[in-house]
Amino acid sequence: MLADNRNYNSPYAVSTTDRSMRADARRSHDAILAAAGELFAARGSGVQMDEIAERAGLGMGTLYRHFATKQALLAAIIARRFAAMIDLARAAERVADPGASFETLLRSYLEAAERDAAFRYAILGPEKTAWDQIAEQKAEFAEIAQRIIRRAVNAGHLRGDLSFNDFVLITRGAMANMNPEDHDWRRHVALTLDGIRTPSQ
């Protein structure tokens, strides 16, 4: 019989119980985000933390262990979407034409936001968001977007004073016009693009 050389007293040993606890915590975390996303998308600022816990099938203690405040929960909703937005930004940066690269970023960002009402609420709603908790994700997206904007400006596709702050304003304005009945945000974006392209474009 082979000797069992595993050191069960090692601080680096991971027990089955520990792994199970981590898996349970992950399931609870995901259940809270799913429940919060559904409720915020449907009712916005009227949603209370106890309703989120009930929808997730969890106790309040579990909810608060994961998210101490509603602001932290909103930040997590944004962080989850930003992970996908970062991938979209990387794909847009690979588009060879600078002008098309910027428009790909803008439209893909807004198309993703259109499908995620909870994200739009977290960005636009009256509740303050704990932005400091997702500073890394925000900074990573902004860095890629800034490179795309600078490239389009330097190539003469966009007006010379366009900045990332303008991108934020444009996307928030478009998101404010999103609703299930129509696609007015697309006209908003088309008009905005007409205003920020250089005359030769």
- Per-residue pLDDT of 42-59, as tens digits, reads 887 788 999 999 999 999
- Per-residue pLDDT of 29-38, as tens digits, reads 999 999 988 8
Q: Which two tokens stand for residue 178?
A: 């999103």
Mind listing the domains of the chain with CATH numbers?
15-68 (1.10.10.60), 70-201 (1.10.357.10)
- Per-residue pLDDT of 109-163, as tens digits, reads 999 999 888 888 888 888 888 888 888 989 999 999 999 999 999 999 999 999 9
Checking if the pLDDT of 101 tops 80, the result is yes
* pLDDT at res. 162: 94
